[in-house]
């Protein structure tokens, strides 16, 4: 995601409270370094994060991923409140960080994003999400959507993203 933002002319800053040790995380870090995308050093020093947030327009939340099961552990238990306290708009990918993928927001530490972009299909845990909710990508073949009764919205024309709304303008899943 940060590399795509960089390719589209944005200047992202990456904050990983605890960098992953798997090869995929190391490759992402290398890609970002090669593109000149700044990565804040992991530490409990909130000053670097506060400084980065003060020069930011939005927070793109993709900390845990769609398989998260609580509880939120250190150092994330300190990072999430810092993001919330920044007062910047938050856009979460797939499920807000700190939310259980099946049960939803069960901890007070979970982020309350303004916007949620679900990939493939909405996760069970976002049923009570109150902000704007979009579905990104046409990744589910119709046969699977029908088989699992996913009730996915229709994409207009060749669009790759669609907002979940009802006739009265309220959100739906």
Whether residue 117 contacts residue 91, with contact meaning beta carbons closer than 8 Å, is answered with yes
146 and 104 both lie in a single domain: yes
pLDDT at 155: 86
The domain that contains 109 carries what CATH number?
3.40.50.10260
pLDDT at 115: 95
- Would you say residue 151 lies in a domain? yes
Strand boundaries in 6-122, DSSP class E? 13-15, 38-40, 59-61, 90-93, 115-119
Core vs surface per residue 19-41: b (16+ CB within 10 A) or e: eeeeeeeeebbeebeeeebebee
pLDDT at 134: 94
Give every residue of the chain whose pLDDT is below 70, as ranges.
43-45, 166-173
Rounded to 5 degrees, what angle do the CA atoms 69, 70, 76 make? 115
Sign (positive/negative) of CA torsion 93, 40, 19, 88?
A: negative
- Would you say residue 172 lies in a domain? no
pLDDT at 168: 53
* pTM for this predicted structure: 0.84
* Structural domain containing residue 119: 43-163
- Would you say residue 86 lies in a domain? yes
94 and 35 both lie in a single domain: no
Predicted confidence (pLDDT) per residue in 69-104, tens digit: 778 888 888 888 888 888 899 999 999 999 988 888
pLDDT at 40: 83
6 and 89 both lie in a single domain: no
pLDDT at 147: 94
């Amino acid at each position: 995601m940060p590399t795509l933002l960089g390719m589209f002319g944005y200047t992202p800053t990456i904050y990983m409270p605890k960098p992953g040790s798997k090869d995929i995380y190391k490759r992402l870090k290398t890609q970002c370094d090669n593109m000149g995308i700044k990565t804040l050093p992991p530490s409990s020093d909130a000053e670097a994060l506060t400084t980065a947030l003060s020069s930011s327009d939005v927070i793109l939340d993709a900390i845990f991923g769609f398989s998260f099961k609580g509880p939120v552990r250190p150092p994330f238990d300190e990072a999430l409140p810092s993001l919330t306290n920044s007062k910047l708009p938050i856009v979460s990918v797939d499920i807000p960080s700190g939310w259980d993928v099946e049960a939803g927001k069960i901890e007070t530490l979970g982020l309350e994003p303004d916007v949620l972009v679900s990939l493939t299909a909405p996760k069970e845990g976002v049923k009570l999400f109150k902000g704007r909710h979009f579905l990104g990508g046409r990744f589910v073949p119709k046969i699977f959507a029908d088989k699992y009764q996913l009730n996915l919205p229709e994409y207009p024309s060749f669009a790759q993203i669609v907002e979940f709304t009802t006739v009265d303008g309220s959100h739906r899943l």
